[in-house]
Amino acid sequence: MENPAQAEEGTPASPSPPTNPAAPSPVSPYTQRQVLLITLGLMLGTFLSALDQTIVATSMATIANDLKGVDAQAWASTAYLVTVSMTTPLYGKLSDIYGRKSLFLGATSVFLVGSVACSFAGSMYQLAVYRGVQGLGAGGLVITGLMIIADTVPAAARPKYQGAFMSVYGLSSVVGPLLGGFFSGQGSILGVTGWRWVFLVNVPTGLVSLLLVAVVFKGSRSRGRQRVDWWGTALLPFSVVPVLIVAEHGGNWGWLSSRSLACYGLGAVALIAFLMVERAMKLEALIPLKLFGLPAFRTTMVTAALSGVGMYGGIVLVPQYLQIVRGQSPTEAGLMTIPLMVGMMAAAVFTGGAVSRTGRYKGLTVAGMALTVAGLALFATVDVHTPLWQPVLYMVVFGIGLGNCLQTLTVSAQNCVPEEAMGLSTSLVTFFRQIGGSLGLAALMSVLFRPLAGNIHDAFVKARHTPEFAAALNDPAVRSAPENAPFFTALKGDVGQGALTDMSFLHRLDPRLAGPFKEGFVTSLALSFLVAACVAALGCVAAALLVEKRAPHTQTSEE
């Protein structure tokens, strides 16, 4: 049966396999070498999007200090996250209408412009605006890349290529902290402040990605003029962003404060208006409501949202444990997460090949969610004295679980809709994963930090009755050491509350004095891991309810 790439490019199917391995395959207008070059270009684009989140997170403290905006740094992260999430479904819709190539090249160009602008930021608020521009481009890098893969390779081979494609998320989780730690630790490089290279490093990689896709990929034909749901695009941010803001700040404001209630009201009104617009736009809507009438599609989106909570939560909480409880630097923590990366990459490649061979993905999705739950639950058992090999092993389990889910949910989303909506469905599974992850992460951070001061206080009260801590507390040499001064300053007030603003002094503190802080933090951290595991368990149940469907054009080895 005809491949999507053929349908759009007008390339006829060959009746038999070519004898020359360098010639185009019977269902693709590209040689194997061209497919590899296109895939490399797309992987570089995806790597940029994934890397930007991890490299900036590692460098943000240094950036905020240099720009004198520690209290405003959350805006830089929120601006990027919001624009990425909101533009993801739009790119999917536009790629179905106008083709993938121009969208990918445009998204990459916008991302690079935003990256260069970020390197010139003179304040945190300027940086937030430029990060928003970056997000406008990043929202299209992954989605259009996945769809170009679908246009380039035979349907049965897509999961294998997409599995390798998605594995770059694991690589970025390690490379990001390493590069972020290196650049932010340099005073200047070639006359430019070190942290500004966090953004400039995107330029050469992005240019290579642009060149490969522009030269090798032939493009896909547009499907004709259709209405674009601009009203839905405008209303969607107002439906989601207020909820994200409350999830992030509600713990401090109060969940029923006037500001929280205003956000709830704005979100509810915008959501009703958005649903009315989507109903009127029918199949041309940004998120066609009719798709949710398909059981397979509906269950896939729910599973993606719940998996996002476990994914984003675990990836953020594990470095917190390594840096605060184990006392590692961001660079060291990045190196320590290599087992997580290896597990994720290996699982993504394995599941991609397995789905290509068999066409089956439900069992792999259920297994992935189960392993994600197991990894998070195991991390809920760690404490200050846990041997290091145990969290390393838990990272492998967690990484394998994530790797299984990333690719299989994408395949599920593509297989349960008509082929003309494949770009939209691919973007929506990413959108729901991001929204679920964003809301879940904000909630998990609240679970982590809300009881933290009390947990530290309780650990401190308990430690005062131990001979080791009492000896350190009364030792004149310990009391006079400059590195211990923040502890005794905090001791004059609420020792737990004082630690919430800055815990970097723990790295220099006498280990005996640091014990209660770490004990209190690991208590809060365990609760956060446990909550994340419970949400991921709901995702496992949703995965078990998936309706497994093969795309009509898919030919597998079993057939």
- Over residues 201-228, the pLDDT tens digits come to 899 999 999 999 888 888 765 555 567 7
Separation in Å, CA 153 to CA 16, 145, 258, 442: 16, 12, 53, 38
- Residue 148 and residue 38: Cα distance in Å, rounded? 9
Residue 135, pLDDT above cutoff 60: yes
Q: What is the pLDDT of residue 238?
A: 86
Q: Dump the DSSP string for 404-443.
A: HHHHHHHHHHHHTS-GGGHHHHHHHHHHHHHHHHHHHHHH
- Residue 160 and residue 556: Cα distance in Å, rounded? 12
Residue 498, pLDDT above cutoff 60: no
The token pair that represents 195 in the structure block: 């942290």
Residues 6 or more apart whose Cβ sits within 8 Å of residue 298: 292
The DSSP element (H or E) to which 189 belongs, if any, is: strand 188-189
The predicted model gives 542-551 an average pLDDT of 81
Residue 474, pLDDT above cutoff 90: no
The token pair that represents 134 in the structure block: 């970056």
- Residue 524 and residue 423: Cα distance in Å, rounded? 41
Considering only residues 78 and 443, tell me which one the structure prediction assigns the higher pLDDT: 443
The DSSP element (H or E) to which 533 belongs, if any, is: helix 511-544
Q: Give the pLDDT band (50/70/90) at residue 322.
A: confident
The token pair that represents 338 in the structure block: 């290599």
Residues of the chain with pLDDT > 70, as a percent, come to 82
Residue 420 in contact with residue 224, Cβ under 8 Å?
Answer: no
The DSSP element (H or E) to which 95 belongs, if any, is: helix 73-98
- Residue entry with tokens 């993504």: 348
101-119 and 73-98 are packed helices; what angle lies between their axes, rounded to 10 degrees? 160
The token pair that represents 147 in the structure block: 């769809």
Q: Is 29 helix (H, G, I), strand (E, B) or coil?
A: coil
- Residue 489 and residue 297: Cα distance in Å, rounded? 56
Please choose, from the candidates 419, 551, 283, 555, the residue with its C-alpha nearest in 3D space to the C-alpha of residue 7.
419
- Over residues 523-536, the pLDDT tens digits come to 888 999 999 999 99
Please choose, from the candidates 493, 470, 492, 472, the residue with its C-alpha nearest in 3D space to the C-alpha of residue 481.
472
- Residue 315 and residue 331: Cα distance in Å, rounded? 15
Q: What is the pLDDT of residue 349?
A: 79
The token pair that represents 139 in the structure block: 């929202």
Residue 159 in contact with residue 13, Cβ under 8 Å?
Answer: no
Question: DSSP character for 20?
Answer: S
Q: Is 502 helix (H, G, I), strand (E, B) or coil?
A: coil
- Residue 95 and residue 104: Cα distance in Å, rounded? 9
Residue 515, pLDDT above cutoff 80: no
Q: Give the pLDDT band (50/70/90) at residue 14.
A: very low
Considering only residues 378 and 254, tell me which one the structure prediction assigns the higher pLDDT: 378
Separation in Å, CA 175 to CA 120, 209, 311, 336, 441: 23, 18, 18, 11, 22
Residue 493, pLDDT above cutoff 60: no
Separation in Å, CA 369 to CA 97, 363, 365, 408: 34, 10, 6, 11
Considering only residues 301 and 162, tell me which one the structure prediction assigns the higher pLDDT: 301
3-class secondary structure per residue, 470-493: HHHHHCHHHHHCHHHHHHHHHHCC
* Cα dihedral 387, 388, 391, 394 sign: negative
- Residue 306 and residue 239: Cα distance in Å, rounded? 19
Q: Give the pLDDT band (50/70/90) at residue 3.
A: very low
Phi, psi of 243 (to 5 degrees): -70, -40
Q: Give the pLDDT band (50/70/90) at residue 139.
A: confident
CB atoms within 10 A of CB 437: 25
Please choose, from the candidates 307, 259, 258, 255, the residue with its C-alpha nearest in 3D space to the C-alpha of residue 441.
307
Q: Is 25 helix (H, G, I), strand (E, B) or coil?
A: coil
Residue 397, pLDDT above cutoff 90: yes
Q: What is the pLDDT of residue 547?
A: 83
